[in-house]
Structure 1
Amino acid sequence: GGLAYARVGSDGATLEGGKALCEGLAPVAAALIATCGAGAGDLILFGAGEEATVNKALDRVRQFVAATLDMVPPGQHAVLWITEFPMFERNAEEDRLEALHHPFTAPNQSDVANGGDITKARAIAYDLVYNGVEVGGGSLRIYRRDVQEQVFDAIGLSKEEAEEKFGYLMEAFQYGAPPHGGMAFGLDRLVMLMCGAKSIRDVIAFPKTATAQCLLTAAPGDVSEEQLKDLHIARLPRATALDATAQA
């Protein structure tokens, strides 16, 4: 994988830059330029690799360029709902499917009607994005045992494992759980964006430092041996703790 680039020539129909790249794209250069909406002198970036990785990388490039060239108008409020999430994503390292949101998100009924493949279904999930940053999200939840079993099967969870870990939930579904959903907002993050702050620590009441210390209460502080004993926690010397971690 990697990032390549080419510049649109003065004629607006050819590409200039790396020889191999431009020669390889020459037959489709005009169509590519038109698809990108590019003009003479514009730079076109190309990402190569796994789709998910490339999308994330190009998004970082997009944000970096916009910030560096001061292309984001100040005081602008751009709000977007994202609703067309897939139910699953593939874990390339383990070669299996994983729930994109979480395994209790309900699938779009039109995608699974009449025996539709749940692994290709969209989720009834939603994210709220403000100026390019997620500030809230949620989903409708599964409330039927048969649908939940299909999801568990899709992510490779056996019936035995599902029963052991979520038996109480599966049993509850048999008694007629109502359709339900949830959503949560990151209000502190939203305030940070609306204030134009650089860090979330600038807008929350009692921010922790980068090393997780509280300047107001001086936490974390010492804990008495009696408190540790009540919680069945042993305190090890630093060297011993590091050795134990290394051996694990």
Structure 2
Amino acid sequence: DPDGSDSTLQVRWDWENDGVFDTSFSTTKTASHRYPTAGTKTVTLQVRDVHGATDQTAWTIDVEEGNVPPSACFSVTPSAGTTETDFEFDASCSSDPDGSDSTLQVRWDWENDGVFDTSFSTTKSASHRFEEPGQPTIVVEILDEGGATGRYAKQITVGSSGNNPPVAYFTVTPDTGTVGTVFFLDASGSSDEDESTTGTLEVQWDFDGDGTYDTSYTVEKTITHTFEGPGTYDIVLRVKDPEEATDTYTRRVYVY
């Protein structure tokens, strides 16, 4: 101001040069503004002194397209388990609005402690087993090609006790016979302390102990078998509970 104090000058801004000023007069000479779209923009500044006299100037700036941060998300299977559960995490639902989803990189923080436990990778799935019971919050961070990131967190439940494996057991009647003898095998004595009934246990049989099971899994606990030739046979029972834990038990029979 040639005939006044510069400090008393007031300014206001028109960000789009549309004749409508977007700020009020103020002695603060600086301002910031973010444009929602790209393009060439004309900005107008108007200055007013203490006597009401004004002057204005305008200049153009180029606004380029910005990098929009990616949107992070993930699913977990199962959502609740125990310290023996392998939780499967899948962040393939994450997306990048201005880029390719396939180039997104992910990393995982299993305890939400601010320290990521894996490095960035384009592999969107991961598996993790928690050593301690509780309700941990898992965080995934997504990184796009422009360096922008996004995060998503989810809480799961980890039980205080793991699944106890079943206990396999069976009887065989008789335990000695001849070719053609019908041997009766009964696995109803198998047990699982995690289940109120053994009805959910599945069993399968290896009649000659060669490591190849001769039957498929079934909840039926009894079966009969005859041997085609004489010999000593180790019959193996394998029992599986609903959590896929297994146990085996072996009995020897003699066929003459």
After TM superposition, the score normalised by the length of structure 1 is: 0.22
Larger RCO: Structure 1 or Structure 2 (Cα < 8 Å, ≥ 6 residues apart)? 2
* Max Rg structure: 2
When the two structures are superposed, what TM-score results if normalisation uses the length of structure 2? Answer: 0.22
Structure with higher helix content: 1
